[in-house]
Amino acid sequence: MLIEARGVTMRFGGFTAVDAVDLDVAEGRITGLIGPNGAGKSTFFNCLAGDYRPSAGSIRFAGREIAGLTPESHARLGMARTYQVPHTFTDMSVGDNVMVGAFLRHRRTADARRAADAVLERTGLAGQARHRASSLGTAGRKRLEIARALATEPKVLLLDEALAGLTATEIQAAITLVRDIHRSGITIVIVEHIMEVILSLADRVTVFHHGRIISQGTPGEVTGDPKVVEAYLGRSLERQRQRAAEASG
Amino acid sequence: MARFVLAVAIAIALVFPLVFSGAFYERVAALTLLYAIAASAWNLIGGYAGQVSVGHVVFFGCGAYGAAVAYSEWGLPPIAGLPLGVGAAVLLAALVGVPTLRLSGHYFTMATVALAELIRILVGNVPVLGAAVGLMGPAVPRSVWDLSFTSSLPYYYLFLAVLAGLLLFTWWMERSRMGFYLRAIKGSERAARSLGIPVGRYKLYALMLSAGFTAVAGALYLVMVGFVDPDSGVGILLSVKMLIMAALGGAGTLFGPLIGALILVPLEEISNSLLGGQGSGVTFVVYGGIILLIAVFQPGGILAMVAGWWRKS
Amino acid sequence: MSPILLQVIVGGLLLGAVYALFSSGLTLIWGMMNVVNFAHGDFVMLAMYVAFWTWAIIGGGPLLFTPLAAFALAVLGVVVYFGVVKPVMGGPMLAQMLGTFGLALFLRYSAFWAFTANFRTLPEDMIPGSFVVGGVRFEAAKVVAGIVALLLTIGLHLLLTKTRLGSRMLAVSEDRQAAMLMGIRPDRMQAIAWALAAGATGVAGALIATFFYVSPTVGETLAVIAFVVVSLGGFGSVPGALVAGLLIGVIESLSAFWIGAVYKDVLVYALFLVVLWVRPQGLFGKL
């Protein structure tokens, strides 16, 4: 296993957001984390990425304990992440944003430039390389964050709601990009609350509810799990029913 | 195009004092360069890394007092105190930087306020540093090493050379990993860390470099003016000047601080010579107003404004 | 304990309560919107001038000029929020810092220009008299200032924690988007926060004016004290500011008593730097 999380717990004051979660991420897979809002998936994700130090539990990455290490150590060890709300460096050009990532493995400017150019090409951003990052829309910024993370040459890419807020065509383009990155041998962990998307993308899905894992398996297994239907789909089905009732009434 | 502009600017800088000779012009020109050095030094931490110091005069004071002490205590040429001043400045920078640069930028700014106040009170009460009276450089030059000239012209070229060196360093840094990292830190510390940047360490490097160069400006100031007291060496006005020159021209750009100095120093010298000493209170009101307006309307300063017009046309 | 030492300590506590009051304004704004108001000390200065000029022009006592200073500063707070803070809040950090720092310079030296550098004082018998308890003599002005400040600081804390307004303000500071969905207007809450913070500062300034000289630069020192109090108390924490304010008041009084008035500020600034090294989150805060 590339990532092994055991008993990961995150408490904020008296509130337990993530409660003793065990999770394995196999190398070369796309693992999806889903769950209703406030289920703890994002908190758990931030523990994986090193943005939060878990209150308890162990996270091993390639056999090495990483719980409590800084975000920058995570990056050096080969974990890269994106943010739900993109944190691009808006005053810098698109190309320079990617350069920042590339400098992690390439000290010299010329080498970093070459590595960054390759990533820009691959992510379809080469045409906008000289534009300011602030000129990009949401989809462009999310793509840029992925490019910047890729430039750090990670073993695993952690995507936080990479598709939220995108239009249907943009989602298709993003999925193509994620698949392409995956094919190049990078393990992917993706948090998403758009269920349909993740089911088509992920090899394995983990469902969070109230800070715990309630179901794990292939997309088919998970959607067939009554607990999931109740916790997640049930709610949206119920909402749909309500909406239908309102519309007809 | 850019190269042409640069070449013309350098040519003008080289011949300017020969064309506009006269004590007043030469003095203002030399002071402009001196402030440009200080503001460019501030720019390393305040502009590139986005960590606003409002106590940079402390580092300037280290340089000025270091040079003054070299003469008053050991009878050395003032410039021999430069390493002492730079060393003290870098040390003080670490003292405020190590604890605060791990935290959000507010802590750093507040710590620089406290440090500046602390040092100002201490300097005003320490006899070795001349207390409230201040210290003098050599009244009559004893050798060429005292760098004591009646004309401002030699200072002009000395400062020009130092400024060129500093800008060259900054230019190189801008293009190196450090420059990219500092700009990333300014953009988003959180994202910078997630890309493997040891944020606190890089901010500290930038601060120590900035403090060191600011101390150089301080030592040069003493060499030229030959006198330092708590007001001129560690008074708050100078911190404000460094900050406002950089912000007005364009914080975080190579030439921004120089442009700010080119506008503000002559303006101030001229208004001082017209108004006599009366102007300094009004100067502050105007400075405060300018800083406020820049912050609200054009955080990128003049260079960003010009770049905006350029793109539009 | 000797009476004189007791007097120094109680004096420090009374002064500390006033520090706590004007520091709560700073900590409230910082905690709520992550903005540090570098003009905070100058707000105190302006409040002191409001008190002084009210007395000088139309007469009256603290009962008149304290509410007036509170009102004037609350208005100023709202103006500053909409005119300076709101435009720079979403922008780069540099702009934020420059905004309130520029404001500080502008206010301070406008006061220089308008009111001259002269030290001005309210008459000493503004709040007349003094009384003796257990062999210790207290000036009424400081006792009144201390007690009013203490009550108002506690009141501010209760307002923030126990009322509907307080919880709405808290909601905005925690999640702007979510607060908007709940029908709260963040702009309005933040403007109210500025009015409250500046108003509290106004009261503190008026109280200080009853026993301390007024000058355009008086805010410089007070601002640093407020920074120290806030960083010691933990940012955003009004109770933290209260405890830290009292502590700083006592430390100042004791050091002025033992090592001399010149160095009392040095000690406070040095303490500030030490706190940043040892416990940057403050005594009660978390990072």
HEC secondary structure over chain C:
CCHHHHHHHHHHHHHHHHHHHHHHHHHHHHHHHCCCCCCHHHHHHHHHHHHHHHHHHHCCCHHHHHHHHHHHHHHHHHHHHHHHHHHHHCCCHHHHHHHHHHHHHHHHHHHHHHHCCCCECCCCCCCCCEEEECCEEEEHHHHHHHHHHHHHHHHHHHHHHHCHHHHHHHHHHHCHHHHHHCCCCHHHHHHHHHHHHHHHHHHHHHHHHCCCCECCCHHHHHHHHHHHHHHHHCCCCHHHHHHHHHHHHHHHHHHHHHHCHHHHHHHHHHHHHHHHHHCCCCCCCCC
- What is the DSSP secondary structure assignment for residue B55, as one 8-state letter? -
User: Is the CB of residue C81 less than 8 Å away from at least one CB of chain B?
Assistant: no
* Choice between B207 and B232, residue whose per-residue pLDDT is larger: B207
Torsion sign over Cα C248, C249, C252, C253:
negative
* Interchain CB distance below 8 Å, B190 and A81: no
Exposed (0-12), middle (13-18) or buried (19+): which is C178, by Cβ within 10 Å? exposed
CA B218 to chain centre: 8
Structural domain contains residue A96 = no
Q: Of the ranges A86-95, A220-229, B39-48, C88-97, which one carries the lowest mean pLDDT score?
A: C88-97
**What's the pLDDT at C7?**
84
Preferred mutation among C34, C93, C255, C272 to probe B, highest tally of B CBs within 10 A: C93
pLDDT in tens, A34-79: 888 778 888 899 999 998 999 999 999 998 999 989 999 999 999 9
CB-closest option in B100, B103, B299 to C91: B299
Structural domain contains residue A193 = yes
Distance CA B115, CA C125 (A): 37
3-class state of residue B254 by DSSP? coil
- Nearest residue to C231 (alpha-carbon basis) of B59, B120, B56, B96: B96
Is residue A233 over pLDDT 60?
A: no
**What's the pLDDT at A104?**
95
pLDDT in tens, C101-130: 889 989 998 898 888 888 888 887 777 777
User: Is the CB of residue A99 less than 8 Å away from at least one CB of chain B?
Assistant: yes
Counting the structural domains of chain A, the total is 1
CB-closest option in B106, B117, B281 to C224: B117
Is residue B281 over pLDDT 80?
A: no
**Contact residues, B window 67-126, toward C, CB-based 8 Å cutoff:** 95-96, 98-100, 102-107, 109-111, 113-115, 117-118, 121-122, 125
Full residue range of the structural domain in which residue A239 is found: 3-87+152-248
CB-closest option in A70, A91, A152 to B195: A152
Structural domain contains residue A228 = yes
Is residue A237 over pLDDT 60?
A: no
**What's the pLDDT at A94?**
95
Region B146-162 average pLDDT: 88
Confidence category of residue B169, pLDDT binned at 50, 70, 90 = very high
Q: Of the ranges A136-140, B99-103, B186-190, which one carries the lowest mean pLDDT score?
A: B99-103
- Nearest residue to B128 (alpha-carbon basis) of B97, B87, B84: B84
Torsion sign over Cα B191, B186, A88, A41:
positive
Partners of A152 on chain B (C-beta within 8 Å) are 195-196
What is the distance in angstroms between the Cα of A83 and the nearest Cα belonging to chain B?
8
Give the rounded percent of residues in chain B with a pLDDT score beyond 70: 97
Chains that touch A (3 or more CB pairs under 8 A): B
Q: Of the ranges A145-149, A219-223, B181-185, which one carries the lowest mean pLDDT score?
A: A219-223
b/e burial code for range B121-150 (CB count within 10 A of at least 16 → b): bbbbeeeebbeeebbbbbeeeeeeebbbee
* Choice between B280 and A40, residue whose per-residue pLDDT is larger: A40
**Contact residues, B window 180-239, toward A, CB-based 8 Å cutoff:** 180-181, 183-184, 186-188, 190-199
Nearest residue in A to B190, CA atom: A87
Phi, psi at residue C214, to the nearest 5°? -110, 130
Region A100-106 average pLDDT: 95
What is the distance in angstroms between the Cα of B310 and the nearest Cα belonging to chain A?
15
**Contact residues, B window 136-175, toward C, CB-based 8 Å cutoff:** none
Counting the structural domains of chain B, the total is 1
User: Is the CB of residue C225 less than 8 Å away from at least one CB of chain B?
Assistant: no
User: Is the CB of residue A75 less than 8 Å away from at least one CB of chain B?
Assistant: yes
Structural domain contains residue B192 = yes
Full residue range of the structural domain in which residue B147 is found: 30-235
Mean per-residue pLDDT of chain C: 85
Distance CA B34, CA B221 (A): 7
Residue C131, number of CB atoms within 10 A of its CB: 10
Is residue B279 over pLDDT 60?
A: no
Nearest residue in B to C31, CA atom: B106
CA B171 to chain centre: 17
What is the distance in angstroms between the Cα of A51 and the nearest Cα belonging to chain B?
8
Structural domain contains residue B257 = no
Residue type, B219: A
* Choice between A91 and A150, residue whose per-residue pLDDT is larger: A150
Region C39-46 average pLDDT: 94
Torsion sign over Cα C25, C30, C32, C33:
positive
Distance CA C33, CA C194 (A): 10
Region of B231 on the Ramachandran plot (φ > 0 left; ψ -120 to 50 alpha; else beta):
alpha
CB-closest option in B54, B96, B122 to C101: B54
User: Is the CB of residue B102 less than 8 Å away from at least one CB of chain A?
Assistant: no
Partners of C262 on chain B (C-beta within 8 Å) are 121, 125
**What's the pLDDT at A163?**
84
Q: What is the 3-state secondary structure (H, E, C) of chain A?
A: CCEEEEEEEEEECCEEEEEEEEEEECCCCEEEEECCCCCCHHHHHHHHHCCCCCCEEEEEECCEECCCCCHHHHHHHCEEECCCCCCCCCCCEHHHHHHHHHCCCCCCHHHHHHHHHHHHHHCCCHHHCCCEHHHCCHHHHHHHHHHHHHCCCCCEEEEECCCCCCCHHHHHHHHHHHHHHHHCCCEEEEECCCHHHHHHHCCEEEEEECCEEEEEECHHHHHHCHHHHHHHHHHHHHHHHHHHHHHHC
HSE of B109, CA atoms in CB hemisphere, 13 A: 23
Region A83-109 average pLDDT: 93
Region B64-89 average pLDDT: 93
- What is the DSSP secondary structure assignment for residue B152, as one 8-state letter? S
**Residue A37 and residue A193 in contact, taking contact as beta carbons nearer than 8 Å:** yes
Architecture in CATH for domain C3-278: Orthogonal Bundle (1.10)
Angle, to 10 degrees, between the axis of helix B236-249 and the axis of helix B301-312? 10
Preferred mutation among B102, B109, B203 to probe C, highest tally of C CBs within 10 A: B109
Is residue C287 over pLDDT 60?
A: no
Structural domain contains residue B162 = yes
Confidence category of residue A108, pLDDT binned at 50, 70, 90 = very high
* Interchain CB distance below 8 Å, A80 and B192: no
Mean per-residue pLDDT of chain A: 88
**What's the pLDDT at C267?**
84
Confidence category of residue A239, pLDDT binned at 50, 70, 90 = low
Structural domain contains residue B22 = no
Region B6-31 average pLDDT: 86
Preferred mutation among B95, B182, B285 to probe C, highest tally of C CBs within 10 A: B285
Nearest residue in A to B193, CA atom: A72
Give the rounded percent of residues in chain A with a pLDDT score beyond 70: 93
Nearest residue in C to B248, CA atom: C98
Partners of C87 on chain B (C-beta within 8 Å) are 296-297
Region A140-155 average pLDDT: 94
Side by side, the strands of the sheet bearing A56-61 are A15-25, A3-12, A56-61, A64-65
**What's the pLDDT at C72?**
96
Helix (H) or strand (E) holding B228: strand B227-228
pLDDT in tens, C135-194: 777 788 888 888 888 999 999 889 888 888 888 887 887 777 777 777 788 888 899 999
**Contact residues, A window 34-63, toward B, CB-based 8 Å cutoff:** 49-51
* A122 contact partners, CB below 8 Å, separation of at least 6: A147, A150, A180
> CA separation (Å) from B151 to B27, B135, B155, B156, B168?
8, 22, 8, 9, 27
* Interchain CB distance below 8 Å, A149 and B183: no
Is residue C271 over pLDDT 60?
A: yes
Is residue C99 over pLDDT 50?
A: yes
* Interchain CB distance below 8 Å, A80 and B194: yes
